[in-house]
Amino acid sequence: MQAQAYQKCIEPTCGLEYPITDIRIECDKGHMLDIKYKTIPSTSLKEVFYKRRNPMSNIFNESGVWRFRELLNFCQIDTENIDQCSKRLVSLDGAEGRQSKPYHMSKVSDYVGVQNLWLQPEGYNPSGSFKDNGMTTAITHAKLVNIKKIICASTGNTSASAAMYAANENMECDVYIPSGEVAPGKLGQAFQFGAQVIEVKGNFDDALSTSLKQASQGGGYTVNSVNPFRIEGQKTIIFRALEFLDWNPPDWIVYPGGALGNTSSCGKCLMELYEWGWIKKIPRLAVVNSEGANTLYILYNGKFEGSKLRWNKGKPDTSLVKRYYEYMDKNGIKPKTKATAIQIAKPANILKGLRALEFTNGVVAQVSDKEMLDGMALVGLNGFDCEMASGAVPAGIKKLVEQEIIKKDDTVIGILTGRQKDSGIPVDYHRNAENKFANPPRS
Ligand code: F0G
């Protein structure tokens, strides 16, 4: 049978291709990879996906990832054959993506000044963050190629998710974390799920380069978002949002930006859906950096050496990125934010992120720690839980509305990426009566 899915280099002038069973995170020339599909999925699947919301005891219908399996069928299975699904697809009992869909949080809407605002709490995944969407697909690929050990670097959520799936699939798992910079709840999960934690002196960028080096020396299968199979699973975040809107795209989709896996995945998802004729309009992407870890903001908006970094139809000025990284290294500039999940200075997916921003005519904003904390607290006042990095979403939307980039009557989807795993952060916030949404205790 001819392969229906394959891996392909993202750079148009290179375009090297590899079979699905190859284990690699880049092409032979060192460029990132996409998973590509040869057949165009019929739009009649929209009805199939909707019907699967009554899962009829099938965990692959229950799963908010595998419910859309025809749009990420890199295993090339008969998607209606439950036996094949059970043998090949990894799922934590159908729980990934099961509970996440957009929700109207009225207090956030009033605060940011947009009524058609929908926030999607991806923190309500089994390990407590959006990572499960992509980890279930990365581990599915790992299983396809008979992997016994996975490896990742993490600011905490990736390691929790990786460790959870590894435990359930009987794989070993090594996680490299920046020492002292990971929320206690996230670290606890890695220990609890049996992963080997390796503490690295330095930040996430240092942990990632160490873990990638280990992986290249046979230390395990990388499950960070540089793995193109992770990106496939994270597309389902957008599938669920679009399905909720009857596949009528919103004006905006807003994410916090860290390593830019989500940004990349959202871009790939929209590029495919548009090419396949599933959507007629392309939403604009807004990525929100923390002020303390704002590499994308700086480069995209021309705040370093003046020129604005763009994908430029596949010919980005990578030397500008290199010069900025050298400038940071030389001047001892380190990422610093209380939102440790996005404390990242060298976003590994920056080129895919730029491609996504170009395709969607996107924007990049930045917000302060205080603004993120207010955003987080406000989500809490709607009865939902999110961590500080996710608070960047309401904070970023507010800022973009004030700048009249997002219009008050636009339809906006914001992704709340993770659940609170450091209870000290809201406790400190609410004890301080000076904070905007503080709820201090009485004595
Ligand atoms: N929000 C949360 C809660 C995260 O944990 C992360 C990344 C992001 C946003 C940024 O997403 O990398 O796709 O731009 N956390 C990674 C980790 C780096 O190791 O858990 P991104």
pLDDT classification of 443: cutoffs 50, 70, 90: confident
* pLDDT on residue 15: 95
* pLDDT on residue 193: 98
What does the mean pLDDT of the chain come to? 97
Summarize pLDDT for 213-267 with one digit per residue, the tens.
999 999 999 999 999 999 999 999 999 999 999 999 999 999 999 999 999 999 9
pLDDT classification of 99: cutoffs 50, 70, 90: confident
pLDDT classification of 1: cutoffs 50, 70, 90: low
What number does the ligand 1 atom closest to the CA of 186 have? Answer: 20
User: Does residue 319 register a pLDDT over 80?
Assistant: yes
CB 256 less than 6 A from any atom of ligand 1: yes
Summarize pLDDT for 255-301 with one digit per residue, the tens.
999 999 999 999 999 999 999 999 999 999 999 999 999 999 999 99
d(CA 413, CA 191): 34
Token pair for 45: 């699947």
Pairing, β 363-367 against β 284-290 = parallel
pTM, two decimal places = 0.98
| Nearest CA owner, ligand 1 atom 4 | 341
CB 420 less than 6 A from any atom of ligand 1: no
* pLDDT on residue 421: 98
CA-CA-CA-CA torsion sign (64, 4, 42, 11): positive
Most ligand 1 atoms within 8 A of CB, residue of 155, 227, 346 to mutate: 155
Most ligand 1 atoms within 8 A of CB, residue of 127, 157, 376 to mutate: 157
User: Does residue 186 register a pLDDT over 60?
Assistant: yes
pLDDT classification of 2: cutoffs 50, 70, 90: confident
5-43 in b/e burial notation, b at 16+ Cβ within 10 A?
A: bbbbbbbeeeeeeeebeeeebebeeebbbbbbbeeebee
**HSE (side-chain half, CA atoms, 13 Å) at 327:** 11
